[in-house]
Structure 1
Amino acid sequence: MYAPSQILARLALFASLLFGRVINMKTGIIDVGSNSVRLALMADGKTIYKTLATTRLGEGLSHTGKMSGAAIERTAQAIARFKVRAEDDGADRLYVFATAAVRSSSNKAEFLAAVKNVCGIEVDVISGEEEAKIGLLGALKGRDGGIIDVGGASTEVTVQLGGKLLYSKSVNIGTVRLYDLAQRDKTKLEKVIAERLADYGEFDASEFLMYTIGGTASRLASIKHGLREYRPEITDGTKITLQELSEYADRLLTMPVEQIRATTICTNSADIVGGGCLLMCSVMKHFGISEITVSESDNLEGYYMLKEGAK
């Protein structure tokens, strides 16, 4: 039995086929990350809205090599709720993709089966290279430049010039992994980060316009603007210097978690935002980057462009 909104969406599809054009078709995209599950509702290439649920799917992954049963259940239920919301809001198509926590876990099959059982959805588990590609596509939309995507379990750095990739690397280090390994201890965090930075090899990105995408980027831009709620129309395009990020990292790693939660946007990420900021700083230094621009168009838009562009 279809909901009224789904019936209307299918009528729109029929009309588009009949008259040879698409009439405001809506598509839901769900990104299953290591820290949160995000939903974007898209139509005609534009983002109508984004929302998220923090589920910490990657919690404990660095120690056990697998996702916990509780984290799998939280995340599967979040996906199910977002599926219902997208359909209620008129989505005729729904895509779901998962990133580092799922692809690097020894019990990936258990997670995929749990999601299928709860809401009937097949999840596309993308590689690190694919994750970098859709992030680049969403943020740059074909322009030259690069991205840094600090996620919960991995961090991607990608640069392109003249439509061709010059550099792309995904390394298994992110905000949730860092917290698992070093909590909020700056000395331990720096040691863990330094060990993983070597995996990026050598590449000079100092001459490129570099963007940053994802939850860490949005949180840091929100902190710069003093925002207590997500306002992408304000944070999009925000420029943050390496010096500013270094100061934020020092402040966030010395503030009590409850104070961060009470005074910033980071109500569900107060424990990991300091480590994420330090990681961003370290990656920028490694690649010779002195300033980064926040893009609120990211891998959700990139995945949409990849799927819908292929139609």
Structure 2
Amino acid sequence: MQAPSNDRRRTPPGVPRNASGGGLTVRGEPAVIYAAIDLGTNNCRLMIATFANSQFRIVEAFSRIVRLGEGLAHSGRLHERAMDRALRALKICAEKIEKRGAARIRAVATQACRIAHNGREFIARVERETGLKLTIISPEEEAHLSVMGCASLLDAREVSPVARAALVMDVGGGSTELSWVELADETPAPAVSVAEAQSLAQHNALKITRRMPRPRYWISIPVGVVNLAERFPEPASGHTQAWFEAMIEDVSQTVRHFSDPETLRPHFDKGEAYIVGTSGAITSLAGMHLGLERYDRSRVDGLWMSHGHVQSVITRLLELGHEGRELEPCIGKDRADLVLAGAAILEAIQRLWPCQRFRVADRGLREGLLLSMVKRKTRRRRRRGPRPVATPVTA
């Protein structure tokens, strides 16, 4: 797809262009530019970054709420208006990728396209109209990529007593992926210190940790903020507590039967575990907790909250009502009807796996996609090994 000729987007400050004006440079050398697209049930997200010195430098990020899965739970199909919204966002992504000259691209679609009867037809339409080749990934790969994207926040020694396990929850629009990680085995030393994590967030950077954690147990439940909110419309009467509890119970029923992670239960009982939550609804909760007048990723990403803090924000959200939530700067109209569905999913998990410490992640699948591209490149190099040395032929 050709970018519009009048598109004059500027390179962010501090990121020089090379002499030819075509690409970015890092320390005078042409930088490889990576792009990751995550098309979810609710959001379309893009991240473009350069990679050098085991670190991604984010040069552009884009996110738009498209509600691709709107009405999907009732009809089993992606609706025309929803597909049009997603296509408009994807065309913007394609233009940004072409403008930046990204050499390596990974674009994925998740739950909405997985379950919709016309999901693959839509994927084909996306390629025809934008040139982007989306891959529908499995729930297992989605869970693994989300954990990979949150790797720098999985630090066993940032909790007292030292954490032995973490539960990463990626709350999407149509599904929620839950991944239990053993920290003692996967991160024997701190991946990124608190100070370094804050510095990375402030400078739009993403660092590869020494060991990428892998989920020991995982589950994907077909409950996300969009389909949960559609199944449980907010009561006009204003009696919201019973409504909220009904959403919590609905989520609990889909998770409580999953007994595989019970071997890690003692760590939660001893206070040696914490939950990491990633989603727009969860970062909105964090923004409200901090009282931000404007959303600030550098303050939200990696933020520690207690269960009590989360419950206090939920109480405020219930008291505000729909119109009040629309006026909150970290929520707005797009998430006013979804943020409490996300809060209900979080509260259900916190009740099933009680722990006092909760960490907010403004990162996840996009970051996991970027890291996976570098990991693939590294593995290919290792498999090839050193080039054979030629032996001279003597007469």
**Which interval holds the TM-score relative to the shorter structure?**
0.7 to 0.9
Task: Provide closer, same or farther for how the CA distance between residues 24 and 171 of structure 1 changes in structure 2, counting only shifts above 3 A.
Answer: same
Residue 291 of structure 1: which of 357, 360, 365 is its match? 357
> What CA deviation, in whole Å up to 9, does each residue of 1:146-171 have, x standing for no partner?
41111111111112222353211111
| Superposed displacement of residue 11, structure 1 | 6.7
SS at match of 2:374: helix
Q: Is the 8 A contact 1:57 1:101 kept in 2?
A: yes
Residue 249 of structure 1: which of 293, 314, 323 is its match? 314
Q: Is the 8 A contact 2:23 2:101 kept in 1?
A: no
Residue 103 of structure 1: which of 101, 105, 114 is its match? 114
> What CA deviation, in whole Å up to 9, does each residue of 1:185-228 have, x standing for no partner?
32432342233233543532623243211212221111111224
Aligned-pair identity (%): 24
Runs of 4+ in 1 over 6 A off after TM superposition: 1-5, 7-11
User: Structure 2 matches for 1:66-105, cutoff 5 A?
Assistant: 66-105=77-116
The answer to whether 1:152 aligns with 2:218 is: no
Task: Provide closer, same or farther for how the CA distance between residues 240 and 148 of structure 1 changes in structure 2, counting only shifts above 3 A.
Answer: same
SS at match of 2:231: helix
Q: Distance in 1 between matches of 2:29 and 2:110?
A: 31
Q: Distance in 1 between matches of 2:91 and 2:45?
A: 12
Structure 1 residue aligned with 2:73: 62
Structure 2 residue aligned with 1:27: 34
> What CA deviation, in whole Å up to 9, does each residue of 1:257-279 have, x standing for no partner?
22111123112111110121121
Q: Is the 8 A contact 1:10 1:92 kept in 2?
A: no
Superposition TM-score, scaled by structure 2 size: 0.70
Q: What amino acid is the match of 1:186?
A: F
SS at match of 1:256: helix
Structure 1 residue aligned with 2:225: 175
Q: Distance in 1 between matches of 2:223 and 2:38?
A: 18
Q: What amino acid is the match of 1:131?
A: E
Q: What amino acid is the match of 2:173?
A: G
Give the CA RMSD over aligned residues: 2.8
Q: Is the 8 A contact 1:175 1:273 kept in 2?
A: yes
Q: Distance in 2 between matches of 1:290 and 1:57?
A: 35
Q: Distance in 1 between matches of 2:143 and 2:372?
A: 13
Q: Is the 8 A contact 1:226 1:264 kept in 2?
A: no
Residue 193 of structure 1: which of 246, 251, 266 is its match? 251
SS at match of 2:30: coil
SS at match of 1:149: strand
> What CA deviation, in whole Å up to 9, does each residue of 1:72-129 have, x standing for no partner?
1110121111111232234333321111111122221122122112202110111111
Structure 2 residue aligned with 1:282: 348
The answer to whether 1:118 aligns with 2:119 is: no
Superposition TM-score, scaled by structure 1 size: 0.88
Structure 2 residue aligned with 1:308: 374
> What CA deviation, in whole Å up to 9, does each residue of 1:278-303 have, x standing for no partner?
21011122122322111223211111
Task: Provide closer, same or farther for how the CA distance between residues 215 and 199 of structure 1 changes in structure 2, counting only shifts above 3 A.
Answer: farther
The answer to whether 1:217 aligns with 2:285 is: no
Q: Distance in 2 between matches of 1:60 and 1:275?
A: 16
Q: Is the 8 A contact 2:22 2:101 kept in 1?
A: no
Q: Size of the alignment, in residue pairs? A: 305
Q: Is the 8 A contact 2:47 2:366 kept in 1?
A: yes
| Superposed displacement of residue 248, structure 1 | 2.3
User: Structure 2 matches for 1:220-235, cutoff 5 A?
Assistant: 220-235=285-300
| Superposed displacement of residue 12, structure 1 | 5.8
Q: Is the 8 A contact 1:241 1:292 kept in 2?
A: yes
Q: Distance in 1 between matches of 2:293 and 2:70?
A: 25
Q: Distance in 2 between matches of 1:132 and 1:143?
A: 18
Q: Is the 8 A contact 2:286 2:300 kept in 1?
A: yes
SS at match of 1:165: coil
| Superposed displacement of residue 22, structure 1 | 6.6
Q: Distance in 2 between matches of 1:187 and 1:285?
A: 12
